[in-house]
């Protein structure tokens, strides 16, 4: 009986040992385990990768910082050079100011105004040309009158003044232009008939002096021609 009990006890111990060996070990959970490279890569791959990434980031930050320090050093050198140049210019300016000699003031001569004799001239009216309302075309009946004026102007050999007018109807600016167009048409007619263009003078007065020509509007739409003596 003792032999049987001992045998059973030994068999139970073996089974108990086998049951212990069948339980899988956790190589990553116990610090007492001896790690191989395989186990290290398997258990701590994430940690190693994080460490390497952190080192790479630190190296990049250090490189950027070194480049920034280098640029700051270059800028400091340039600023120093500019400051030295400015100081040199300031010294030169001060030296020039010390040697500056004031130029003598120009002599002011009293202004002498030339004596201008009063110009004496006279006007002789030699013709008038009347126009229709709001028109600057020379009518055939008025053209015949102009032919007689051409002869008088040529015979005198003097300058001729052609002055245009307008009636009181309409705005001032438009009537002034209308007066000028009428005067230009008469001057052009005289030039075509042989009057020297260099001796023709033109003027216009618009509606402002219309009442001086007469009360009727038909009397105000006129060009008056003068020989200048």
Question: Tell me: the pLDDT tens digits for 139-183?
Answer: 888 888 888 888 888 888 888 999 999 888 888 888 888 889 999
| Cα angle 203, 209, 214; round to 5 | 115
Task: Check: pTM over 0.75? Answer yes or no.
Answer: no
Highest mean pLDDT among 86-95, 185-194, 205-214: 185-194
Q: What pLDDT is stored for residue 130 in this prediction?
A: 93
DSSP notation for 90-154 = HHHHHHHHHH--PPPPPP-PPP-PPP-PPP---EEEEEEEE--TT--PPPHHHHHHHHHHHHHHH
Distance of CA 12 to the CA centre of its chain: 105
Nearest to 196 by CA among 164, 229, 160: 160
pLDDT above 60 for 117: no
Q: What local confidence, expressed as pLDDT, does residue 35 receive?
A: 53
Q: Work out the average pLDDT over 199-204.
A: 87
C-alpha 199/C-alpha 179 separation (Å) is: 20
* Tokens, residue 34: 């001896």
Give the C-alpha separation, 179 to 135, whole Å: 10
- Give the percent of the chain with pLDDT over 90: 4
As a whole number, mean pLDDT of residues 85-107 equals: 71
Backbone angles phi, psi at 30, to 5 degrees: -120, 125
- Confidence label for 24 from pLDDT (cuts 50, 70 and 90): low
């Amino acid at each position: 009986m003792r032999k049987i009990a001992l045998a059973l006890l030994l068999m139970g111990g073996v089974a108990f040992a086998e049951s212990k060996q069948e339980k899988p070990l956790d190589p990553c959970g116990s610090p007492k385990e001896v790690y191989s490279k395989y186990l290290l890569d398997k258990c701590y791959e994430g940690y190693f990768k994080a460490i390497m990434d952190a080192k790479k980031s630190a190296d990049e930050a250090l490189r950027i910082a070194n480049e920034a320090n280098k640029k700051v050093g270059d800028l400091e050198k340039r600023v120093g050079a500019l400051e030295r140049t400015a100081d040199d210019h300031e010294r030169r300016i001060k030296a020039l100011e010390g040697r500056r000699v004031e130029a003598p003031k120009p002599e002011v001569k009293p202004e002498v105004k030339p004596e201008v004799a009063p110009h004496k001239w006279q006007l002789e009216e030699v013709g008038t040309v009347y126009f229709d309302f709001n028109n600057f075309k020379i009518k055939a009946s008025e053209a015949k009158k102009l032919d007689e004026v051409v002869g008088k102007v040529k015979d005198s050999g003097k300058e001729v003044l052609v002055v245009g007018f307008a009636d009181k109807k309409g705005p001032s600016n438009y009537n002034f232009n209308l007066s000028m167009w009428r005067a230009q048409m008469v001057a052009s007619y005289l030039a075509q008939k042989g009057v020297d263009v260099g001796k023709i003078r033109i003027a216009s007065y618009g509606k402002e002096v219309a009442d001086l020509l007469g009360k009727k509007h038909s009397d105000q739409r006129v060009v008056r021609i003068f020989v200048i003596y």
